[in-house]
Amino acid sequence: MILLNPGPVNVSERVRRALLEPDICHRESECSELLADIRQKLLQAFVPGNESEYTAILLTGSGTAAVEAALLSSLPQGKRIMVIINGVYGQRLWNMALTQRLGGVEMRLDWGQAPDLDKIKLSLRQHREIHTVAMVHHETTLGFMNPVEKVAEVVDGLNRVFLVDSVSGLGGEALDIAAPHIYMVASASQKCIQGFPGLAFVIVRKGFMDKSVKTYPKRGWYLNLANYYEEQERGSIPFTPAVQVYYAFREALNELLEEGVAKRCARFRGYATTIRKRMSSLGIKAVLPPEQQSNTLTAFYLPEQMSYEWLHDQLKQEGYVIYAGQGHMESKIFRVANIGALSDKDISGFLDAFEQIIKKRGESG
Ligand SMILES: Cc1ncc(COP(=O)(O)O)c(C=O)c1O
């Protein structure tokens, strides 16, 4: 089956084979080496040249675990969080803040609308209680790219902590973490990095981790980043890791480093361009204008009188899995992601199958 949902993705045979590494105990030196290797490779891939300024912290869980751990670990007693919301995952960040009574300012925009930098600046000047600003990098809801680097400069300029949910972006969308001083970036194994689901991680500015995060209140036990950091710096991990998934993730990182992050982004961009051109030639309209579209996912309007379920089932019979819309767009759109160990042939095979399905339906009236 070719997966054109935004993760979990198809992985390479090389990554799949890494699941078969020998069984190990997570308290043995083999596991310490595995953890250290993954942490170092994450820094090499995502903060090249600035590895000493950042640290990577690994958790077993899905992307949400990394996002929530970062958010809850990011602020001292009495301080609050601002969330910029322009999609489902921004809303999730806000829900996390509210659950812990840490919500301060909610900057709510339409889906796919970029935030106004002056408004963020003004709001941060007015709300001294805001310590952390959180937003999503690639808003998977519509495949929208948020201007995180520009927001990072504003937030850093006003001495606040900037946290980015890049669960669906890192490895597939360009992101300069170090230059604009992004403090925390949360992501996971099963999307653009092309591993199996189960490993989540946060890349954190080392000075912030050492001087601040360690002193902040613990707002959870499993999701407290300081716990993980302390143990991982000693070569250990506080809770049982999904060892086999970690082995496979290390192999996925090897593949990413061999391909290069920029080339991976370009490969995904190439697939997306092919998909968008062909869809356009078939009269299928993209929801976002080209300048807002990501490398990795496109939201398209469903043709008139066609249900998502019908389209999905027809494509699945041909071996392709697409993805539904969410919230108020659920019955109006379908989404096609183009991440994972895919080939040009997979993309053209999907597009041929799609065209056949549309034509057959047209002929049957
Ligand atoms: C932007 C974004 N954040 C968070 C998540 C949640 O990730 P997970 O399902 O791995 O918890 C997703 C999942 O698609 C996402 O796209």
Separation of alpha carbons 304 and 36, rounded Å = 52
- Dihedral-angle region of residue 101 (phi above 0 means left; psi in -120 to 50 means alpha; beta otherwise): left
Ligand 1 in reach of 251 Cβ (< 6 A): no
For ligand 1, the distance from its centroid to the CA atom of residue 209, given in whole angstroms, is: 24
Separation of alpha carbons 355 and 361, rounded Å = 10
Ligand 1 in reach of 168 Cβ (< 6 A): yes
Domains and CATH numbers, the chain: 15-259 (3.40.640.10), 261-363 (3.90.1150.10)
Separation of alpha carbons 339 and 117, rounded Å = 30
Separation of alpha carbons 69 and 223, rounded Å = 4
Q: Which of 13, 15, 1, 5 is nearest to 195 (CA)?
A: 15
Position in ligand 1 atom list of the atom nearest CA 168: 16
- Per-residue burial over 175-209, b if 16 or more Cβ lie within 10 Å, else e, is bebbebbbbbbbbbbbbbbbbbbbbbbbbbbeebb
For ligand 1, the distance from its centroid to the CA atom of residue 97, given in whole angstroms, is: 16
Tell me the torsion sign for CA atoms 297, 61, 58, 65: positive
For ligand 1, the distance from its centroid to the CA atom of residue 140, given in whole angstroms, is: 8
- The angle, 0 to 180 degrees and rounded to 10, between the axes of the packed helices 344-363 and 261-281 is 20
DSSP SS3 for 298: strand
- Per the structure block, which two tokens stand in for 136? 């999503």
The confidence score (pLDDT) of residue 28 equals 87
User: CA-CA distances (angstroms) from residue 241 to 26, 34, 60, 251?
Assistant: 7, 11, 6, 16
Position in ligand 1 atom list of the atom nearest CA 166: 1
Q: Which of 86, 89, 296 to mutate to test the pocket of ligand 1 (most atoms within 8 A of CB)?
A: 89
Ligand 1 in reach of 166 Cβ (< 6 A): no
Ligand 1 in reach of 188 Cβ (< 6 A): yes
**Residue ranges with strand state E in 110-179:** 130-136, 138-139, 144-145, 161-165
Q: Which of 148, 147, 182 is nearest to 162 (CA)?
A: 182
DSSP SS3 for 80: strand
| Count, residues in the chain | 365
Print pLDDT tens along the chain (365 aa): 999 999 999 999 999 999 999 999 899 899 999 999 999 999 999 999 999 999 999 999 999 999 999 999 999 999 999 999 999 999 999 999 999 999 999 999 999 999 999 999 999 999 999 999 999 999 999 999 999 999 999 999 999 999 999 999 999 999 999 999 999 999 999 999 999 999 999 999 999 999 999 999 999 999 999 999 999 999 999 999 999 999 999 999 999 999 999 999 999 999 999 999 999 999 999 999 999 999 999 999 999 999 999 999 999 999 999 999 999 999 999 999 999 999 999 999 999 999 999 998 887 76
* Phi, psi values for residue 127, rounded to 5°: -110, 85
- The angle, 0 to 180 degrees and rounded to 10, between the axes of the packed helices 63-72 and 225-233 is 100
For ligand 1, the distance from its centroid to the CA atom of residue 359, given in whole angstroms, is: 34
- Dihedral-angle region of residue 122 (phi above 0 means left; psi in -120 to 50 means alpha; beta otherwise): alpha
Nearest CA to ligand 1 atom 10: 63
Separation of alpha carbons 296 and 336, rounded Å = 9
For ligand 1, the distance from its centroid to the CA atom of residue 282, given in whole angstroms, is: 30
- pTM attached to this predicted model: 0.97
End-to-end CA gap in the chain: 29
Nearest CA to ligand 1 atom 7: 63
Position in ligand 1 atom list of the atom nearest CA 64: 11
